[in-house]
Amino acid sequence: MSRSAHPAGPRHADVLPEGHYSAPPADLNALDPKVWAQTVTRGDDGAVTVGGIPVGRLAEEYGTPAYILDETDFRARARAWRTAFGPDADVFYAGKAFLSRAVVRWLNEEGLNLDVCSGGELATALSAGMPADRIAFHGNNKSAEEITRAIEAGVGRIVLDSFQEIVRVAHAAQSLGKRQRVQIRVTVGVEAHTHEFIATAHEDQKFGIPLAGGQAAEAVRRALQLDGLELIGIHSHIGSQIFDMSGFEVAAHRVVGLLKDIRDEHGIELPEIDLGGGLGIAYTSDDDPREPHEIAKALTEIVTRECEAARLRTPRISVEPGRAIVGPTAFTLYEVGTVKPLDGLRTYVSVDGGMSDNIRTALYDAEYSVALVSRTSDAAPMLARVVGKHCESGDIVVKDAFLPADLAPGDLVAVPATGAYCRSMASNYNHVLRPPVVAVRDGEARVIVRRETEEDLLRLDVG
């Protein structure tokens, strides 16, 4: 990112400080469709609408902060992934990105499967009617109780993450008189984030069983010996917010190498391969994500080519996008509180939420954009930092962004692309109440996850 020239305006320093920002956008009122949900637009009066509803009305009815989720966009993205991969592949939505019963119903209706990684996510999925055989159960430390519940429910697959778990799941399945379909999650020595990937040893992490040193091959040997397990495939997940497909290329090459070794040693060809999730979205205008059909084409070609080279039948491919489906579909609506210009630095814009509703900036140094949404403004751009209300100086929502210099308390601002890993990672830090998720579609809004209340907090505090 470049440092920009200082635009004239009352709240500006003459020289802008170092930061992760480009030049101010030509039009601060414009909404880049790359980062905003599909039905977001500015009405004639300058206020932003979503699904045909002005944000001011949403703020009045549901309060702020609130996650506003565009159901039309969610369904369109889910459908695009489903269509792109077609009937010979499976798309498992990664529930960790954001899960609620309404979302489970939408996924079910759009023909997607679901990946869960805790008893809580499993309970949510089952309670909203997701057929158990379309659920994959993940996790590096599933409890014995979670494993039993998943097998009893009849989940379509459990993804085995360690040698101990191979035995645990086999034992639980046998005790229940069942044979559980499983995949083994391997670490392929590839780590991919955003535009980069490192194809060196990335086995030094808690997930999966390394291919290196023959450990994954040994896991396969053990799984094949156990009556309680039906080994259906190999799983690999290489990272997050990935734009560059070359990490998947290396991962597929290595996973297919294992499938070939399994064929040579055991005389069987495993029927499935799961390449995980991690596909990137646009958080700011600088990000250029790929469309689902491009991703599907690239992944299918990679796996087919690798299998042809290894003289293997091409296995059924599955993927687990979370962020790429839900991320762009929601924005967080905040009311502006204190506006504090710091001479020579930037203006701190405090909103009525913060790191409790979006921990990603503090946790991952994530970048977001922000816009004034309750009105338009012709004021000059001012360099702003959007911060929350928590007792923590790292409580930053948007590190560097331009907002109009006449921004004032009571204005509504929105941070787009907060559908993934915001509500699902939300906390009660400072006993701040977690915001609601309001789904909007065709001129109607409804709460799908309600706002937390002080009674909710006190109910857990049993004195």
Ligand X SMILES: Cc1ncc(COP(=O)(O)O)c(C=O)c1O
- Least distance (Å) between residue 273 CB and ligand X: 14
Count the neighbouring beta carbons within 10 Å of the beta carbon of residue 82.
21
Measured from the CB atom, is 134 or 138 closer to ligand X? 138
Residues 6+ apart with CB under 8 A from 445: 51, 53, 58, 61, 62, 438, 439
Binder among 277, 353, 381, 436 for ligand X (CB under 6 A)? 277
Q: How far apart, in whole angstroms, are the C-alpha atoms of residue 380 and residue 12?
A: 9
- Least distance (Å) between residue 192 CB and ligand X: 10
Residue 117 falls in the annotated catalytic set: no
Taking a C-beta distance cutoff of 8 angstroms, is the pair 166, 223 a contact?
Answer: yes
Binder among 156, 247, 276, 381 for ligand X (CB under 6 A)? 276
Told to check if 279 binds ligand X by CB under 6 A, we report yes
Q: How far apart, in whole angstroms, are the C-alpha atoms of residue 182 and residue 235?
A: 10
Task: Report the candidate in 438, 432, 366 with the shortest Cα–Cα distance to residue 397.
Answer: 366
Q: In what order do the strands lie in the sheet with 48-50?
A: 41-42, 48-50, 53-54
Measured from the CB atom, is 46 or 120 closer to ligand X? 120
- Least distance (Å) between residue 185 CB and ligand X: 7
Told to check if 289 binds ligand X by CB under 6 A, we report no
Count the neighbouring beta carbons within 10 Å of the beta carbon of residue 322.
24
- Least distance (Å) between residue 187 CB and ligand X: 11
Measured from the CB atom, is 206 or 311 closer to ligand X? 206
Measured from the CB atom, is 136 or 339 closer to ligand X? 136
The H or E element that residue 136 is part of is: strand 135-137
What is the 3-state secondary structure of 359-401? CHHHHHCCCCCCEECCCCCCCCEEEEEEECCCCCCCCEEEEEE
Q: How far apart, in whole angstroms, are the C-alpha atoms of residue 456 and residue 450?
A: 11
Measured from the CB atom, is 22 or 140 closer to ligand X? 140
Biggest distance spanned by C-alpha atoms of the chain: 74
Q: How far apart, in whole angstroms, are the C-alpha atoms of residue 325 and residue 94?
A: 9
- Least distance (Å) between residue 94 CB and ligand X: 3
What is the 3-state secondary structure of 156-181? CEEEECCHHHHHHHHHHHHHCCCCEE
Told to check if 139 binds ligand X by CB under 6 A, we report no
Stretch that binds ligand X, among 43-51, 271-279, 286-294, 434-442 (CB under 6 A): 271-279
Count the neighbouring beta carbons within 10 Å of the beta carbon of residue 264.
9
Taking a C-beta distance cutoff of 8 angstroms, is the pair 49, 43 a contact?
Answer: yes
Stretch that binds ligand X, among 63-71, 76-84, 277-285, 373-381 (CB under 6 A): 277-285
117, 307, 391, 422: the catalytic one is: 391
Place of tokens 């087919």: 304
The interface with ligand X within residues 108-127 (CB under 6 A) comprises 115
Told to check if 404 binds ligand X by CB under 6 A, we report no
Binder among 28, 66, 84, 97 for ligand X (CB under 6 A)? 97
Contact letters for ligand X, residues 224-243 (x by CB under 6 A): -------------x--x---
Q: How far apart, in whole angstroms, are the C-alpha atoms of residue 307 and residue 305?
A: 5
Stretch that binds ligand X, among 58-66, 272-280, 286-294, 389-397 (CB under 6 A): 272-280
Q: How far apart, in whole angstroms, are the C-alpha atoms of residue 8 and residue 20?
A: 20
Binder among 56, 95, 278, 328 for ligand X (CB under 6 A)? 278
What type of residue sits at position 264? D
Contact letters for ligand X, residues 418-437 (x by CB under 6 A): --x-----------------
* Helix ranges restricted to H, 213-322: 215-225, 246-266, 292-309
Told to check if 94 binds ligand X by CB under 6 A, we report yes
Angle formed by the axes of helices 101-109 and 71-85, to 10°?
40
Q: How many residues bind ligand X (CB under 6 A)?
A: 17
- Least distance (Å) between residue 103 CB and ligand X: 13
- Least distance (Å) between residue 365 CB and ligand X: 16
- Least distance (Å) between residue 69 CB and ligand X: 16
The interface with ligand X within residues 308-347 (CB under 6 A) comprises 320-324
Stretch that binds ligand X, among 8-16, 50-58, 90-98, 381-389 (CB under 6 A): 90-98
Residues labelled as active-site residues: 391
Q: Give residues in contact with ligand X (CB under 6 A).
A: 94, 96-97, 115, 138, 237, 240, 276-279, 320-324, 420
